[in-house]
Structure 1
């Protein structure tokens, strides 16, 4: 075969081989994984298989990525609820620590942080990333960790001066305008409590109060454990409920207030001052122990309300226009944190976390 004939055969073959080789090279260059990601096993959760993790890059600005680094008290929860339940769009929540380097924010639950910080990330923090401190215990029941004083960018807390404010509940307008129907009452005062310490303010107040009026007590503290499914029905059967907080701090107003409100029982509160409560709920929806000179005076007022139906029903006037909204732990907190990140790109830093929280 002549040289000319050989060239006619080889040239197309060589050209085809060259083009194929270029295509293969470009293919692997494009799909090569980022070498900046941390390697190691993916932390498994009960929701991992439900979530199809999309392809992310820092050039994709339409999606905000929030990484839950520490499950609160080890409790897992639905990471896919932002859009379907809370109507929050553009958020991708994950517990996959392999996504650390591309996450816009990292969520840390204070009570789950090790004292020596050994369960916090050891990789360098990306410049765009914000660390979020989440805590819903009062300062009296929060571990003091001086070494975290300057670690965080944002706070997620029940406090009204937190960056991401999430109170334990709220009063919102009702869709329907109608008189509230009170549930049947067969007890005057109830209290359900598990943690009991005799030196607590609430324990001391109760010990004085029950000398003047009968209080139906339940819970581990009184040796009367009740199933969770029975809590609301017991609370609803009482005219008054002792919504006594375990410690007294600014804005620390928990489900102990919102649960009785939601089932049609008047809460008798012990916590921050009345003015603080009135930032969250109507002043005629509750009774504050500070309004009375002594537990004896409070007991006499409650017995007066028991005998005067019109006065008692006055504590439910707010129900004609409003209703109680409680918070979904912990999914709602996480989605609100992601939503905040998507709307606030500015730099933020906390210089002394403990001083702010305990101050």
Structure 2
């Protein structure tokens, strides 16, 4: 009998201890969650500020603040689903502020609330590739993670938006690269209501940068400090994408390097500067007078961040190609660049660069814009740009559904996406293409093809 009573007493003590341990674990976990949410929120508030850049010459529209918990005190709450996943998002440097928002806490890491003060509206984000998660959302954003379509494209194409739901297509990449990544021409069949791209005719324009007039011109001393430095080297080029290219870029660089002093950095070059895009590398570029800003694609208005951050933003004269010259004239500071299409051959361009190297007065004309204007980079595209979808959400009027292949973004390149771009374009193949290539928009445009005229 005593043994039974003793056993019952021991059992009760064990049960009490177990309950106390469970309660303690719950309190500890809840405390860690609250502390993590507060710290992540403070970090996001400091990391996610940036200019809106919706129109050239405009100043930032607003700031975005982040709420640590789902309960917010605004009259407007919109549910927005981003098609993609956090694993892919972590590998995209340009989406780092987006990733931090979702990673603010481990418990709700696939949901995040963001307050847009300009519209007094909260965007309640979710992320995932399960199409059932689109149900009940006010908006869906496709394309921000372009590789997310791989293996899922047929299901996405067959899906229809719910009544009152707005579909956005978002891209800072060219259609050539998006199709290449997914190896599927059916990208053209994706549906959307509104489009967000680097093109100025998009419903929401998200350029890599813009320029605006200074409040007052720089003094001679200020101008000399920023633009006149001891530049002892001639031309630099930095690239790590050697095969996802859609014109013969590497042969152009190699042929130019035979004619002028040219230092090449990155996986596609002979030199290195680590980490890439760092302040250290940007400072190193200030030793050069010219920088090759050669995009991976020949597409209208595709003027990448290298033009805004690594060249004109550093007081370096960019030698540009990718978008036609007319686009750089429209979107860039006046007389701030040299375009490949201005020359009949690389030899002619090389001679011009060497002439500018000796003629300081002529060289400085390419930098004179900096007295009166300033370059404003907007890349990486900050999460606050997504606030700009609010005025485009369903408001009771009929929304027109479009096919991506009919958009000016998709049709805006020198060549439409085709099956030939589904495989890597290695330097060897680029060299073969180089012999029949001419710069887009030049007087020689197209005349090489099928002839024995010397290549550019």
TM-score (ref. length: structure 2) = 0.60
- Choose from 203, 218, 221 the match for 1:163: 203
Distance in 1 (CA, whole Å) between partners of 2:230 and 2:116 is: 38
CA spacing shift, 1:111–1:184, aligned 2, 3 Å? farther
- Pair 1:62-2:96 in alignment: no
Q: Please list the CA deviations of residues 282-336 of structure 1 after superposition, one character each: whole Å capped at 9, or x if unmatched.
A: 3401110111111111111111111111111111222122211112434347424
CA deviation map 1:202-235 (0-9, x unaligned): 2222222112111011111124332232221122
Q: Does 1:135 align with 2:168?
A: no
Residue 352 of structure 1, CA deviation? 2.3
Q: Does 1:358 find its partner at 2:410?
A: yes
How far did residue 342 of structure 1 move? 5.6
**1:319 correspondence with 2:359:** no
Partner-residue secondary structure (3-state), 2:375: strand
1:88 deviates by 6.5
Match of 1:178 in 2: 218
Q: Partners in 2 of 1:81 and 1:171 — Cα distance? A: 28
Change (3 A) 1:304 1:111: same
The 5 Å alignment of 1:147-296 reads: 149-179=189-219, 180=223, 181-182=226-227, 183-197=229-243, 200-226=247-273, 227-228=275-276, 229=278, 230-259=280-309, 260-296=311-347
The alignment partner of 2:170 has SS state of strand
Q: Deviations over 1:115-148 (max 9, x none)?
A: 3338869997432211111122212211245267
**Cα distance in 2 between the residues matched to 1:327 and 1:74:** 19
Size of the alignment, in residue pairs? 310
Deviations 1:74-117 (A, max 9, x none): 23143677658xx6652424226798555321112233223333
**Per-residue Cα deviation, 1:21-57 (whole angstroms, up to 9, x for no partner):** xxxxxxxxxxxxxxxxxxxxxxxx977996321369x
Post-superposition offset of 1:343: 9.3
- 2:11 matched residue in structure 1: none
Q: Which residue of 2 aligns with 1:301?
A: 352
> Highest Rg: 1 or 2?
1
Task: Give yes or no for contact 2:197–2:205 (8 Å, CA) kept in 1.
Answer: yes
Q: Give the Cα separation in 1 of the matches to 2:119 and 2:266.
A: 37
Residue 214 and residue 325 in structure 1: after superposition, are their counterparts in 2 closer, same or farther (change >3 A)?
same
CA distance in structure 2 between the aligned counterparts of 1:322 and 1:329, rounded to whole angstroms: 22
Q: SS state of the match for residue 161, structure 1?
A: coil
Q: Quick check: 1:171–1:322 contact (8 Å CA) kept in 2? A: yes
Distance 2:302 2:69 in 1: 38
| Deviation for aligned residue 1:190 | 0.5
State the alpha-carbon separation in 2 of the partners of residues 102 and 176 from structure 1. 51
Check conservation: 1:82, 1:335, Cα contact below 8 A. no
Structure 2: 5+ residue stretches without partners: 1-36, 45-65, 91-98, 102-111, 412-456
RMSD (Å), alpha carbons: 3.4
Mark the CA change 1:274 to 1:96 in structure 2 (over 3 Å): closer, same or farther.
closer
2-side partners of 1:135 and 1:311: how far apart?
Answer: 38
- Separation in structure 2 between the aligned mates of residue 145 and residue 115 of structure 1, nearest angstrom: 13
Alpha-carbon deviation of 1:238? 0.9
* Cα 1:328/1:250, change in 2 over 3 Å: closer
CA distance in 1, matches of 2:359, 2:115: 46
Query: For the residues of structure 2 that align with 1:210 and 1:232, how far apart are their CA atoms?
Result: 21
For structure 1, the 5+ residue unaligned runs are 1-44
Instruction: Write the distance in 2 (CA, Å) between the matches of 1:351 and 1:342.
Output: 15
Q: Structure 1 residues 253, 71: closer, same or farther in 2, change over 3 A?
A: farther
Stretch of structure 1 that moved more, 291-300 or 340-349: 340-349
With the length of structure 1 as denominator, give the TM-score of the two structures: 0.74
Sort the Cα spacing of 1:243 and 1:148 in 2 relative to 1 into closer, same or farther, 3 A: closer
The within-5 A match list for 1:95-110 is: 95=126, 100-108=134-142, 109=144, 110=146
Change (3 A) 1:124 1:175: same
Structure 2 CA distance, aligned partners of 1:74 and 1:101?
22
CA distance in 1, matches of 2:351, 2:115: 48
